[in-house]
Each structure stands twice: as C-alpha cells, then as structure tokens.
Structure 1
C-alpha cells in the first residue's frame, strides 16, 4: 500500500510502476530456473503478498526436477507466467489525479497499456460532465474483460463496481445511492476540508514562488534591457556623433565655399563697374566733366561693399530656396483672381524665390528690384527680369496705374519710417484700380521675435506692430486692409486671435502680412 508521505507523488512514479509491472510480466527465458524466478517490483509503496498458487507450483516444480523433468517445469513456467507476488494498489493511488492525467494513469494500471483515443475521449467526457466518478471509471476498466486478464488488485474497487451495478437498478439504485451518500458524507466532508486546506497551502506557496520569480525575472529583464540600452546608446551615440561631425564639417566647408564664391562674384562685379567708370573717365577727361548723376553713381558703388556678406547671411539664417518657395505658396490663392498677363512688381526680390514661384504658375509680366548687386546677378543668371535699383526711385519712374500687384517679403523692416510711407503712397499711385499689395515682415507680437530674433539681422531698423501696419496702409488710402499672421502655411486675421495669457504671445506665428487693395 502507498505510504501517506508519498500520496503527492507525480505521474512519473505511476508510469514507472507500470513499466516495472510490465517488465515483471515479460516472458521468461527458458534457461532461468523455476525457483530463481522471484523478481519483485522496485516500488516499496506497494503491498506484496506471496500467492498460494505460486507456493503450490514451486513445490511441484522441485518435486518434478528430482525425476529429471526440469525441461517440462521450464515449459510450464514459460506458458503460465506465474508470479511469486501479487501487487495490491489502493484506490486513492489513482483518484488523486485529475482529468486527462487520471484517465491515462488508470489505463496504465488497470489495462497495462496506453489509453486509446476513443476510450480516453469517452471516459474524459463522462468524468467532466459528472455522469461517472473517478472510482466508477476505475471499477469499469478494472472489471472489463481486458482488465480482468491483467490480474491487478486494487483495494476498494470491487465495492465501487458492485455499487455502480446496483445504481442502475430502478428505484433500488436511487435508494442505495442516497444511503451510500449519507454514510460516506462525513468522509467526503473530511476530504473536502483536506483538499481545501491543501489548495490554500498550494495557492499561498505558488503565490510566493510566483512573486519571487516575478522579482527575479523583472530584475533580470531590467538588467538585460539596461545593458542592451546602454550598449545601443553608446553605439548609436558614437555613430551619431560621427555623422553629425561629418555633416558639420561638410556644412561649414560648403558655407565657406559659398561665401568665397559670393565674394569672388562681388569682386568681379565691382571690377567691371570700376573698369567702366575708368574707361568713361579716359574718354572724357580733360575735355568733359562728370555730371551729377555720374558722380552719385561712383559714390554709390561703396554701398555694395557688403553685398556678398548679406547674401551669405541670408543663406545661413533665412533658409534654403525650396523652403522659402514652399512658404510663399500661401499667397497664390490671394492673386488667383487676377489674369496671368498682369504686371507684378516684387520689391526686394532677393534670390528670386517669389519670381520663380510666379513663373512656375504661369504669370508672365513679372519684375523684381533689389539693391544687392550679387542677388540681382543670380536672378539674371536664372533669366528673370530684374534690376538693381532703389525702390522709391523705380516707383517714381512709373506712370500712374501701371501695375496690378506689388509685393515685398521682409523688406519694409529695413526702411526708415519716411521711406516706408513714401513706398505706400507711390505704390498706391502706380497700382491699377482693384490692384493689391502684399508685404510680409517679422511679427513683433510674437514675444520671441519682438524681444530677440528680430535683431538677428543687423540691417533691420525697427519692427512694426500688426495694428500699426494696418493703420498705416489704411491711412495711405488702401481699402479692405487686413493684418494677417502666417503660421504653419496658414494665414489668420490678427484681429481675431486671442491674447489671454503668455502662451498666446509665444505660440502666435512669427511672420506678419499686410494685404490691401486700391479702390
């Protein structure tokens, strides 16, 4: 019988019992003497009883051997497969297992084989739906035709088998079942209490083990993750630093070459202008003297000393050509009502981003003016209609109502107040009826622009408040004037924007636009 301390043995022990039992049942070798056949299973937990039949067979075998019938004894021993011991299992040895494990172990013990798929499925269904108990399944298998052939003794199974048969008798079976349940109720309650305590102990033990395992795993995972992160961080950091250094070196070198090219271009332009002036002086002196305009032209040549410097400055701080073009696309819908053959003037055209965008959208009569000779030279290289001339001088040279649109992007902040007002009045004069102005400038209402970034450009004179810019345009005579704020490629009316707290002054767009029309 199984000892109490071994009641929690695993399924492996039962399987091992089955293997040993099968080994004991194997056919004997004919060379083994009858009396030497006394193998016993290795499970100390089984109750061993020497069978009466074996005792009689051993006595007869010894008697026959004295008359030289040893071969006949071996023949009998081989075919009858007599065993010295009968092994008795306890019913609880099997009922402590559950579900599929219970079915497999019961088949191994009672039928000495693995459960077939059909049998396993049948008894598993009966067990799960409660129509058969574990004890009844053991009894049915044990007392089946195949089970009887195995000569396996299971303590208590016969009672269960008889009861199962009685249960099937109408009326009597139900009565017996009730009596049996009443009699065995205390034992059942005891078993339930024992099971509950056992489960509680196991739950607490498993919970503690789970908690410990969780801590260990968490620690291990944290260590592994940290190590990987640390490893990847240093690796990525080293790679990133290398890339950044290469890009910085490349960017600085490109900027240096760009500045050199601008300087070289400016020197070449100045040289050409000086050569023209010298040649003109040779032709005229001593018979002729320079007139006032020519003297002014010579004097103004010094105003272009910093042209190359400012081009380099714009390239570094204003942004690349494609970025400026994308930003200026927001104004295209405002001029879409005009025909493509209108006259458009861009004041302070710079590198020509707006001229390029207008040209790409089909506008034909476009002109740009700027005081920077180098920028004008670049625009001419791109075949744009440009001229290096002062804006007021150029506007005064035009007849009334000759233009439809006048634009200027980041130009008016470079002008003194008197010049700004002259620009507005002259622009109004040369515009046709229904013509419009678009002037973009830094937005000082943005606290970062007004307090700092505006002064990044040394040629800026003073910022202009959105309300002030709108007022000046209206006072000049423009109609339907609006101050708009450019933010993320969207224009919003300044008058409709809230300024309730500091964030409103920080998050507002960084560019201000005034749009007005001639009545």
Structure 2
C-alpha cells in the first residue's frame, strides 16, 4: 500500500505527525473488500486515508459525530464506555482504535467490543501513548510524572497502557498481540532536545525492547490464530 496520500479535505489528524502514514505502511496485506471499523474515529481522517488506498466498506464510531467529515465512510454515535455499538453480530476484518483507549474510564470495554466484532481472521490495530520508551521512563524517574499524562499532556488522557498488564487482560477476551512497535522508531516528537540527548545515551545501557518513540502501536488478533 502506498503512503503517498493527499487528504483533499484536510481532515484534522489528532495524532502526532506522520503516525497515520506509519500505520498504513504497517498494515498486513488485506483485501480492500473487508469491512473496516474505526473506534473513536474523530474527524474521520484515518478512514478517509483508507478510502483513498482502496478500502470500500468503512465505518466509524464516535461520541461526537458532528466533527466527522470523511466522504468515503459512514459514522454512528456511541459512548464506548457504556453503550453497545449497535452492530448485532456483524464482524469486521479490520478494527482500529488510534489514540482512544487512554481516554476511556474502562479500557477493558474496548477489548469487549473488539472481541465481539472482530472476524476470526481479522486484525485489531491499537495505538496509545508509549510509556515504555527510555525518554518516558527518564521523565518518570526525575519528576514522578508520565509524559502525555501530566499537566502538559491532553487532559482527557486518564489511563496509560502498561504492556505487562495488557498482556494479562487480553486473554480474557481471547485476544493476543502479534506485532508491536514504537513510533517514531528513533527520536521523539514530544520530548525536549536535552531529554532526547540523555535518552540516547541511556539507551546504550537500558533496554527498551524496541519500543522507543512517542506512540505504542500493536496489531492484535484472536488468540486461536497463529
């Protein structure tokens, strides 16, 4: 799939710069005919991007549907913490939740929705602020505060995702992580210059398991899939 996409409506991407491009390049080979659901779709910028590369059956869910502007997709309203999504037994070949789970009062609720509506051969793409990077760990060591969850971060960020805990919860929904990575692969778009320099030195001695970067990205499938 090509990442050279021009979003003609200039829909607002509520992510760090370049993340949508990275996610598009990181998707596995998928048929353009599979149904796709974007949970917490916002303006619809991600769905519009998928439409431009050929995906045909695109739907979004968001609490505020008035902001939605994607021409190649539909959108319906739901409160992810409390509502049923209204799809009955409908399944999706790709479900995405980009920078959403950290906003929820009950992060497990999104896993419930995914387990219910993900096709057996489908993928769930999940991203969230990365608290595992050396830069984030350095900030927490010095200040006792997590980047993206302190007074400088989005005030609606309420739950950081710790991978060790997520890996304990996922089996309850018959889900498992099949691929994980950090974006950007090197450097940072949110930390100051001095923090980035110190972090690069610390990376020589402290393992990050390849999960540096500001955003933690995961591909998830049903646990009974290889």
Instruction: Verify same fold: TM over 0.5.
Output: yes
- Does 2:74 align with 1:385? yes
1:516 lines up with 2:220 in the alignment: yes
Specify the structure having the higher radius of gyration (Cα). 1
Distance 1:420 1:409 in 2: 13
Query: What displacement does 1:483 show?
Result: 3.6
**C-alpha displacement at 1:411, in angstroms?**
0.4
The answer on 1:457 being equivalent to 2:154 is: yes
Q: Please show how residues 353-368 of structure 1 align to structure 2 within 5 Å.
A: 353-368=45-60
Counterparts of 2:110 and 2:208, CA distance in 1? 32
- Closer/same/farther in 2, CA of residues 383 and 339 from structure 1, 3 Å limit: closer
Between Structure 1 and Structure 2, the one with more strand by share is 2
Q: What displacement does 1:499 show?
A: 6.1
Aligned 8 A contact 1:469 1:514 in 2: no
Give ranges in structure 2 of 5+ residues lacking alignment: 1-11, 187-201
**1:471 maps to which of 164, 168, 177:** 168
Distance 1:451 1:426 in 2: 28
Verify the 8 A CA contact 1:342 1:365 in the aligned structure 2.
Answer: yes
Unmatched tracts of structure 1, length 5 or more: 1-313, 490-497
**How big is each residue's C-alpha offset from its partner over 1:16-65, in whole Å with a ceiling of 9 and x where there is no partner?**
xxxxxxxxxxxxxxxxxxxxxxxxxxxxxxxxxxxxxxxxxxxxxxxxxx
**8 Å contact from structure 1 (residues 485, 510) kept in 2:** yes
How many angstroms does 1:444 deviate by? 1.0
Name 1:404's counterpart in structure 2.
93
TM-score (norm 2): 0.69
Q: Residues of 1 paired with 2:47 and 2:114: CA distance?
A: 19
Between the aligned partners of 2:37 and 2:220, the Cα distance in structure 1 is: 15
Partner-residue secondary structure (3-state), 1:329: helix
Following superposition, the deviation at residue 502 of structure 1 comes to 6.1
Report if aligned partners of 1:473, 1:516 keep a CA contact under 8 Å in 2: no
**How many positions carry a matched residue from both structures?**
186
SS in 2 for 1:440: strand
Seen in structure 2, the aligned counterparts of structure 1 residues 472 and 503 have a Cα distance that, compared at 3 Å, is closer
> 2:125, 2:218 within 8 Å by CA — same for their partners in 1?
yes
1:371 matched to 2:63? The reply is yes
Report deviation, 1:504.
5.8
Distance 1:332 1:480, change over 3 A: same
1:439 lines up with 2:131 in the alignment: no
User: CA shift at 1:432, angstroms?
Assistant: 1.4
Per-residue deviation at 1:366?
0.5
Once the two structures are superposed, residues 123-151 of structure 1 have per-residue CA deviations (whole angstroms, 9 ceiling, x without a partner) of xxxxxxxxxxxxxxxxxxxxxxxxxxxxx
Q: CA deviation at 1:434?
A: 0.9
Q: How does 1:467-506 map to 2 (within 5 A)?
A: 467-488=164-185, 501=205
Deviations 1:315-339 (A, max 9, x none): 8x856xxx4xx42222334544221
Matched position secondary structure for 1:408? strand
CA shift, 1:472, in A, is: 2.2
1:400–1:430 Cα contact (<8 Å) kept: yes
Return structure 1 stretches of 4+ with deviation > 6 angstroms: none
Indicate conservation of the 8 Å contact 2:177/2:221, yes or no: yes
Partners of 2:123 and 2:15 in 1: CA distance: 26
Aligned to 1:424: 111
**Aligned partner of 2:39 among 336, 347, 352:** 347
Q: Higher helix fraction: Structure 1 or Structure 2?
A: 1
Query: Residues 462 and 356 (structure 1 numbering): CA distance in 2 closer, same or farther, change over 3 Å?
Result: same
- The alpha-carbon deviation at position 424 of structure 1 amounts to 0.7
2: CA distance, partners of 1:483 / 1:336: 13
